[in-house]
Chain A
Amino acid sequence: MAIMSFITVSLLFSLGLFTVLTRRNAFKTVIGLTLMESAVLLLLISWAYIPDGWAPILPLKGGGVDPLLHAFTLTAIVIGACDLALAFAFIMKLNKFERTVDVDVFRRLKG
């Protein structure tokens, strides 16, 4: 079962990377960033799963899953949302200056 999640994680991450590399619209770049972060979250949670484990709320009815990776994933979700919001603010401000959301125009900005 871990193999299934590894395949999904690799495909999802490379899909996000492909979007960031090839698309000209800045919003598509943000979508690719979101997909890459989602792939990492999926890897963490699927790695934390122990077969026949219970959710980490005491009292446990049997074995438990790994709670440390869940804490890391919570932090990663919140920080991901914050950096996405900052990316939106960048896009909005650059759009007001350049009147476009083209990443190639953004890349040619100097000074």
Chain B
Amino acid sequence: MSEPLLAFFYFFILVTAFVAVFLEDLLSSFIALSVTGVLMATVFALLRAPDVALTQAIINSGLVTSLLLVAYSQTRRTPLPSEECPECPFWLQWPSAALVCTLFAVFLFRGLYSLACVRELGSAPAHFLANTLEETGALNVVAAILLDYRAFDTLGETTVIFTAVSGISLLLAGGRYVHSGRGLSFVVKRGMALLTPFILLYAASILFLGHLTPGGGFQGGSVFATVAILICVVYGTSFEAARISPKTKETLESGGALLFIVVGLSGAAWGTGFLANLSGPFLPGTPGSLFSGGNMLLLNLAVGLKVGAGLSSIFYAMIKILELEGDSWQS
């Protein structure tokens, strides 16, 4: 990989991070943060990590920015705190923090520098690269690691998503759902009607072909959640709630988790072990076709259902109107 190109991107990542931190206007700093995410996705693609670049671009630059903007719009009417603090001595404010952070950066760099050596593959990655086709039947090595070799970690990750969705639904439980039927103008509605089938097709292709090409359940599920958010914004929330009600989203999310566990238990019932793939009741198929890789297709579907339904539930919960009638801790 050409070093000047990477150096250019690293420099620009630092510049946009600086802008995101030190800008007073919050909206501009959010956009600068999104640009940092896009630049990092480009760096990942240059460093030969297409899966990770796709995930970073979709989740960090797309979904997290939209959730950030929703949270900002919910808290917009309260006054912004000023950065001055009169009762605090000046040397304790930003100079001491800058000193601590500079020392931290220096020591972190020294520690990382001592690790620098001629890179070569360890034994586990070399085994994965060499034996994935025989042992799992999939072409995408990263998907094989996530859904076969270390599928239990992916189950834990879906549990983390479930915890986040439950926590957010619990925290924002006192509000009422927004029922606006207006949406945006006719031009945007027609344009979205033209584009939405193709975006859905793209999301389905990322999800179902995740064991052959870069992609998988997380990326595909996130694009499905993005389509749900788009429909909510463009056509109004009552349109979206009529199509996919919150109850349906809960059912889809739980259905995804149940599908994952049922697939794992079928491996245990076969006698081999929980989440067993080719040594369990699943067939490898011909490499390169859709129905290959054993249970990876089902696991991708389960993860995609969970992530898609979970993230769109998060969005739908965050746009609620939180009314607290005379119930404030600061009386």
Contacts and interface: CB of A to CB of B under 8 A. Distances in A.
Tell whether A pairs with B: yes
A97 B324 contact: yes
Given A6-B112, A28-B21, A95-B75, 17 more contacts: A4-B6, A4-B10, A8-B13, A12-B17, A17-B104, A18-B98, A22-B97, A31-B21, A45-B47, A48-B49, A58-B132, A66-B122, A70-B49, A73-B49, A84-B64, A84-B68, A86-B167
B3 A4 contact: yes
A98 B75 contact: no
| A: contact size bracket | 35 or more
B48 A78 contact: no
Nearest to A19: B21
Interface string A32-53: 1011001001110111111101
Interface residues of B, number: 104
23 contacts: A1-B3, A2-B116, A11-B14, A12-B14, A14-B105, A15-B18, A21-B100, A22-B97, A24-B82, A41-B56, A42-B13, A49-B1, A49-B47, A55-B49, A71-B150, A73-B49, A74-B52, A81-B60, A81-B63, A82-B161, A85-B314, A89-B171, A92-B172
A51 B48 CA distance: 10
A84 B63 CA distance: 11
Contact of B161 (A78, A104, A105): A78
Interface of A: 1-19, 21-25, 27-28, 30-32, 34-35, 38, 41-43, 45-51, 53-60, 63-71, 73-75, 77-86, 88-93, 95-105
B168 to A, nearest CB: 4
Query: What 9 A-B pairs are tightest by C-beta distance, nearest first?
Result: A82-B164, A14-B105, A88-B71, A102-B81, A56-B141, A14-B101, A6-B112, A8-B10, A71-B145
Given A4-B6, A57-B214, A85-B67, A79 B160 contact: yes
Contacts of A65: 47-49
B199 interface: no
Contacts of B168: 85-86, 89
A106 B244 CA distance: 36
B300 interface: no
A108 to B, nearest CB: 11
Interface string B54-75: 0110011001100110111011
Contacts of A28: 21, 29
Interface string B32-52: 010011001001100111111
A57 B140 contact: yes
Given A35-B17, A92-B71, A93-B172, A10 B48 contact: no
Nearest to A23: B83
Contacts of A68: 122, 124-125, 128, 145
Nearest to A71: B145
B289 interface: no
Given A13-B108, A58-B139, A70-B52, A46 B78 contact: no
Given A18-B101, A21-B97, A70 B3 contact: no
B261 interface: no
Contacts of A16: 17
A71 B63 contact: no
* Chain A, interface SS category: helix
A67 B105 contact: no
Contacts of B102: 14
Given A10-B105, A84-B67, A100-B81, A89 B318 contact: yes
Contacts of A74: 51-52, 55, 142, 146, 216, 218
Nearest to A109: B329
B40 A81 contact: no
Contacts of B100: 17, 21
A50 B119 CA distance: 6
Given A57-B213, A86-B167, A97-B329, A13 B21 contact: no
A42 to B, nearest CB: 6
Contacts of B198: none
